Amino acid sequence: MGRRILLVDDNDDSRFAVAETIAKLTDHKVDQASDGASALARVLETEYDLVLLDVQMPGMDGFEVCRRLRADPRTRRVPVLFLTATQYQVESRLKGLELGADDFIVQPVSNQELIARIKAALRVKALSDEVQHHNVELESKVKERTSTAEHLADELRAERDNLRETFDVFAEALLLLDASGHVLVANSAGRRLHETPLAQDLSDLAAEAVGKSTTYDRPLSHGGRFFAGRAYPVSGRRVLLNVRDVTTERDVEIQRLQAEKLASIGLLAAGVAHEINNPAAFVFGNIEALSAQIRLIEDRLRIGVGSEARTDLQTMLFEVTSILQESKEGMARIQRIVRDLSAFSHVDDDRQRVSGVNSAVESTLSLLRNELRHRATAERDLRATRSVRTSPARLGQVFLNLIINAAQALDEAEVRRNRIVVRTYDSGDDVVFEVADNGPGIPSHVLPRIFDSFFTTKPRGVGTGLGLPISQGIVRALGGDITVETKAGTGTTFRVRLPGEPAVRLELPVGPPVHPTYRRRRVLCVDDEALLLKAYRRMLADVHEVVTALGGRDALLILEKDRNFDLILCDLQMPEMSGMDLYTAVKTLYPDLADRFVFVTGGAFSAEAKRFLEQAVTCLSKPFRIEELLAMIEQKIAAGAGLPLDGSTAQQIPGRPA
C-alpha cells in the first residue's frame, strides 16, 4: 500500500528528479513544497508518512523546519529525511540528527539507495505507528482496568467495613495475629480482650498454634471470667484466634456435672453409710469398753496395788491400749471414706493440677466398696507411673461412672462369677485407664447411642443417661479419648486414654526412720466447739504453747492484748463471727498476722466459704490426725514466717513418735 510523502526543496530540478524516481520505483504519492513555511502549512493540513527535506532553503532552512516539526505534538512523529546536494561537516549532520531527523542523505545517491532509505524510514514509521496503536490500546485497557480495580477496591472497602461491622456484633473475640503476637485485625471484643492482662496469654496461644502447625485450644481466665481460646494457623505464619466467654456455659456445665454427681451420691449413699457405720460402731463399742476398763482400774486402785492387782492392771492397760489402737484404725477408715466422698462431691472450678491416676482409682473403689461386693469381685492391676493434669474431682467422676456402669451391667444373681477388672498403665506419653467386666456385653443396636445424653437402658430411677456423655466430655476436654470394646456373652471394656505427665521419682531415705522433732511455738486455737478446743490442748500441749479462744470475738479480745503468736488455728464457719470475718478483721488491724492463719473445716457449705477457700489460704480438713496437724503447723510457720526447722530447742511428743 502506497504512502504519502512530502518533498521540500527550493530547487525545482532537483525536486522534480527525486519525485520522478520515487514515482517510478514505488507506489508512494509525492506532494511537493518549495520552501519551509509552505511545507509546515501542508504538514498541518495533510497527514504525511514521510518528509524529504532540503537543508539550505531561503527564509527558513531545513534545520528550522525539522525543529518546528518536532516541537509540534501533531507532527513530532512524522519521519524526516534530510536530502541535500551539499557535503556537510560532521557537526552539521549531528545537528540535524539532534533536532530529530531520522536520516541524512547526501546527493549524488543512487536511486536504489534513496528508495531503500525511504523504505527503511517508512518501516520505522510503521513500527512506531503500531507501537503507538498498541500503546493507545494498552493505555485504554489500563484505564479500563484501573477503573475496574478502583471499583473493586471500593467494593472491597465496603465489604471490609461490612465485615468489621458484622464482626463487631459478635460477642466472641476474633483476632488475627502474626507469629510474634502482633495484632493485625481484631473486632471490638478482640480489641477489648487484648487490652487486658490476657494479651500475653493470647500471644502464647498464637505461638503454640504456629509452633505445632495445627489448631490449638487453651482455657483462659481473668477477673472471674472464663474463656475458651482456639487458635487456627493460616498462611504467612499468621493465626486467627477465636476466644469465647464460657463463664455462663461453665456454670451450667458445673451444675450439670453436680447433678450427675448427686445422682451418683444418691446411689452410693447406702453403701457409704454402711462403710461409715461399721467402723463407727466398733469405735463407739470400744469407747464403752474403754470406759468400763477405766472404771475397773479405778476400783483396783482404791483396793490397793499388790502384785496380783499390778498384774491385773497391766492386763487392763494392755487391753486399753488395744482398744485405743482399734479405735484409731476405725476413725482412720471413717476419715478416708469422708474425704473420698468429699473430694468426689466437690463442685470443682476447672483448676487443674497434677493428679495420680492410681490414687483416684483407689479412692473411687473405696467409695464403691459396698456397691461392688454385692455384685462382683473387683480386681486391681494398677501399674501406671505417670500422672495427669486435671481436676481430681472430675477424674474421679469419670472412673466412678465407668465402674458403676460395669457393676450395673452384671447379674446380681451370679455374684460369685462376676468379675470387674480395673487396670491402669502407661502407654508412651499417655496414661490408660480400663474397666472390664465379664457381663453380657452391649447389644449392637444400643452401642452407637451409649454416649447420647439421657439415653439409658437401665430401669427408671437407676440411671440418668448422663454418666457416659459427661465422662466423654470430661475426657475430651483433657485432650484424651474414651473408647469401648464389647462382645456379646463375653463382656465389655471401656478404655480411657489421657495425656500423661512425667513420673516423679521419689528418693527414699536410707537408714533407720527419723522421727520429726518440732520447735515449741505459740498457737492460738479458735473454734466455737469447747470440746474441740480441749482436744487441741490435749493434742498440742506436749509440743506447743496453746491459747484457746471460744469464737471469733473472743479471739479478737485476746489479740488486742497479746499478738505474739506463731500461728492461728481457726475454724472456718462459726456463728456470730466466722473464721472469714475474723481473718478480714485481723488483716485490717494486725496485717502481720494474716499470713499465719490455718483454717480448719469439716466442709465449706456456703457459697461465701467456697469462694474464700479459692483464695491462697491454708486449710486443713476435719477429721485429722495429730501428726497431720503438727506437720501443717511446721510447714505453715516455715513458709510464712521463714522460721528454721533445724530441730534446735525442739522436742518430740512424749511417749510416741510424731
Q: Which residue's entry shows cell 528418693?
A: 507
Measured between alpha carbons, how far is 134 from 126 in angstroms, rounded to an integer? Answer: 12
Peptide bond into 623 cis (omega under 30): yes
Domain 350-502 in the same topology as domain 4-134: no
State mean pLDDT over 121-134. Answer: 82
Residue 11's identity, in one-letter code, is N
State mean pLDDT over 451-475. Answer: 65
Q: What is the pLDDT of residue 649?
A: 38
Q: What is the pLDDT of residue 545?
A: 93
- The grid coordinates listed for 362 are 483407689
Measured between alpha carbons, how far is 3 from 406 in angstroms, rounded to an integer? Answer: 104
* Dihedral pair phi/psi, residue 534, rounded to 5°: -65, -40
Q: What is the mean pLDDT of the chain?
A: 78
pLDDT above 90 covers a percentage of the chain that reads 12
Helices (H), 346-443: 357-367, 369-373, 392-408
Measured between alpha carbons, how far is 565 from 549 in angstroms, rounded to an integer? Answer: 13
Helix 247-303 to helix 307-345 angle, to the nearest 10 degrees? Answer: 170
Measured between alpha carbons, how far is 430 from 426 in angstroms, rounded to an integer? Answer: 6
State mean pLDDT over 272-280. Answer: 54
pLDDT digits (tens, 9 = 90+) for 41-55: 998 888 888 888 888
Q: What is the pLDDT of residue 250?
A: 67
pLDDT digits (tens, 9 = 90+) for 432-441: 999 999 988 8
Q: Identify the sign of the CA torsion 132, 137, 140, 145.
A: negative
323-327, 428-432, 605-609 — most confident range: 428-432
- The 3-class secondary structure across 28-72, one letter per residue, is CEEEEECCHHHHHHHHHHCCCCEEEECCCCCCCCHHHHHHHHHHC
Q: Which residue has the higher pLDDT, 515 or 148?
A: 148
pLDDT digits (tens, 9 = 90+) for 201-211: 888 888 888 88
Q: Does residue 268 register a pLDDT over 60?
A: no
Q: What is the pLDDT of residue 264?
A: 57
* Dihedral pair phi/psi, residue 570, rounded to 5°: -130, 135
Q: Does residue 495 register a pLDDT over 90?
A: yes
Given a contact cutoff of 8 angstroms between Cβ atoms, the answer to whether 631 and 598 are in contact is: no
Looking at residue 501, what DSSP letter applies?
B
Q: Which residue's entry shows cell 496453746?
A: 546
Q: What is the pLDDT of residue 262?
A: 55
The torsion defined by the Cα of 602, 607, 612 and 614, in degrees rounded to 10, comes to 90
Lowest mean pLDDT among 101-105, 302-306, 359-363, 559-563: 302-306
State mean pLDDT over 24-28. Answer: 87
Q: Does residue 646 register a pLDDT over 50?
A: no
State mean pLDDT over 307-335. Answer: 67
The arrangement of strands across the sheet holding 430-437 comes to 377-382, 419-427, 430-437, 491-499, 481-487
Q: Which residue has the higher pLDDT, 240 or 355?
A: 240
Measured between alpha carbons, how far is 206 from 231 in angstroms, rounded to an integer? Answer: 6
State mean pLDDT over 623-649. Answer: 68
The pLDDT-based confidence of 166 (bands split at 50, 70, 90) is: confident
Instruction: Report DSSP letters for 174-196, one per residue.
Output: EEEEETT--EEEE-HHHHHHHTS
Q: What is the pLDDT of residue 584?
A: 93
Q: Would residue 472 be called left, alpha or beta, if left means φ above 0 and alpha means ψ between -120 and 50 degrees? A: alpha
State mean pLDDT over 284-308. Answer: 64
Contacts of 427 (CB under 8 A, 6+ apart): 497
Q: Which residue has the higher pLDDT, 613 or 435?
A: 435
* Dihedral pair phi/psi, residue 55, rounded to 5°: -85, -55
Measured between alpha carbons, how far is 23 from 29 in angstroms, rounded to an integer? Answer: 7
Q: Which residue has the higher pLDDT, 439 or 606?
A: 439
Q: What is the pLDDT of residue 657?
A: 36
Measured between alpha carbons, how far is 526 from 551 in angstroms, rounded to an integer? Answer: 6
Quickly count: other Cβ atoms within 10 Å of residue 244's Cβ: 17
* Dihedral pair phi/psi, residue 175, rounded to 5°: -140, 140
CATH superfamily to which 518-651 belongs: Response regulator (3.40.50.2300)
E strands along 333-393, which residues? 353-356, 377-382, 387-390
Give the three-class secondary structure for 452: coil
Peptide bond into 644 cis (omega under 30): no
Number of residues that make up the chain: 658
Measured between alpha carbons, how far is 86 from 54 in angstroms, rounded to an integer? Answer: 10
The pLDDT-based confidence of 555 (bands split at 50, 70, 90) is: very high
State mean pLDDT over 297-324. Answer: 67
Q: What is the pLDDT of residue 431?
A: 92
The pLDDT-based confidence of 573 (bands split at 50, 70, 90) is: confident
For the chain, how big is the Rg over CA atoms in Å? 50
Contacts of 544 (CB under 8 A, 6+ apart): 518, 520, 521, 522, 523, 633
pLDDT digits (tens, 9 = 90+) for 377-422: 889 899 998 888 877 777 777 888 888 888 888 888 888 889 999 9
Measured between alpha carbons, how far is 257 from 262 in angstroms, rounded to an integer? Answer: 9
Q: Identify the sign of the CA torsion 82, 86, 90, 92.
A: negative
Q: What is the pLDDT of residue 641?
A: 52
Measured between alpha carbons, how far is 95 from 82 in angstroms, rounded to an integer? Answer: 11
pLDDT digits (tens, 9 = 90+) for 218-254: 888 887 788 888 989 888 788 898 998 887 776 666 6
Instruction: Report DSSP letters for 516-562, one per residue.
Output: --EE--EEEEEES-HHHHHHHHHHHTTTSEEEEEESHHHHHHHHHH-
CATH architecture assigned to 170-245: 2-Layer Sandwich (3.30)
Strand partners, 230: 217, 242
State mean pLDDT over 344-365. Answer: 69
CATH (residue range 350-502)? 3.30.565.10
Of the candidates 155, 156, 193, 154, the residue with the CA atom closest to the CA atom of residue 171: 193
Give domain limits for the chain: 4-134, 170-245, 251-347, 350-502, 518-651
- The grid coordinates listed for 59 are 527564509
Fold of 4-134: Rossmann fold (3.40.50)
Q: Does residue 605 register a pLDDT over 90?
A: no
Given a contact cutoff of 8 angstroms between Cβ atoms, the answer to whether 219 and 211 are in contact is: no
Q: What is the pLDDT of residue 453?
A: 59
The pLDDT-based confidence of 366 (bands split at 50, 70, 90) is: confident
Q: What is the pLDDT of residue 565?
A: 94
Do β-strands 419-427 and 430-437 pair in parallel, antiparallel, or remain unpaired?
antiparallel
Measured between alpha carbons, how far is 483 from 469 in angstroms, rounded to an integer? Answer: 12
Q: What is the pLDDT of residue 508?
A: 44
Measured between alpha carbons, how far is 33 from 39 in angstroms, rounded to an integer? Answer: 6
The pLDDT-based confidence of 11 (bands split at 50, 70, 90) is: confident
